[in-house]
């Protein structure tokens, strides 16, 4: 996955949104953290992995991937907020992690990042999220292409007054 390219695209999108909404001087970190938590929850909801009481099947893989990529947008945006200009993620690989357990790791790492907005906590959060993508069965190439598509959608939504 070409993280540097995605980071630059996210920077452009963030600047566009902040300019359009007059938010250039606002601290948006807590709002972005809450948005990331909500997106992670929406992703979990689409997988239905925790819904032991339901027989309904998970959403289609394409819908789950789109929800997953929404989280990538906010993670990259948070990296920009703490001053990162490049991101080097670990090439960890999922090794039979339970999906629900991985969701809990992601939520925990997001909260820890909020408590200490450090580069170390950022990379822990990002790596946990990337591991979640692997547990969900997404390749880095899947994520890259889905991000490109969703980035276009996000610009269109801004033009339409979303």
- Runs of H (alpha helix) within the chain: 3-20, 29-47, 61-81, 99-115, 119-135, 140-159
DSSP 118-136: -HHHHHHHHHHHHHHHHHT
pLDDT at position 93: 64
Q: Which domains does the chain have, with CATH numbers?
A: 3-159 (1.10.4010.10)
Banded pLDDT at 96 (limits 50, 70, 90): low
pLDDT one-digit tens code per residue, 54-74: 999 999 999 999 999 999 999
Whole-number mean pLDDT of the chain?
A: 92
Per-residue pLDDT at 154: 84
Is the model more confident about 91 or about 41?
41
pLDDT at 106 over 90: yes
pLDDT for 85 equals 84
pLDDT band at 92 (very low <50, low <70, confident <90, very high): low
pTM beyond cutoff 0.95? no
- Alpha-carbon separation of residue 7 from 2, 59, 106 (angstroms): 9, 28, 20
């Amino acid at each position: 996955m070409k993280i540097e390219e995605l980071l630059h695209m996210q920077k452009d999108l963030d600047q566009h949104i902040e300019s359009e909404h007059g938010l250039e001087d606002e601290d948006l970190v807590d709002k972005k953290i809450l948005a990331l938590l909500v997106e992670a929850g929406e992703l979990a909801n689409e997988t239905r992995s925790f819904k032991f009481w339901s027989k309904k099947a998970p959403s289609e893989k394409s819908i789950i991937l789109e929800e997953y990529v929404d989280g990538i947008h906010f993670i990259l945006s948070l990296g920009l907020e703490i001053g990162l200009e490049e991101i080097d993620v670990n090439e960890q690989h999922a090794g039979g992690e339970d999906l629900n357990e991985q969701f809990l790791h992601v939520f925990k790492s997001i909260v820890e990042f909020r408590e200490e907005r450090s580069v170390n906590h950022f990379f822990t959060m990002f790596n946990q999220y990337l591991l979640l993508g692997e547990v969900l069965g997404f390749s880095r190439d899947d994520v890259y292409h889905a991000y490109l598509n969703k980035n276009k959608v996000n610009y269109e939504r801004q033009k339409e007054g979303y």
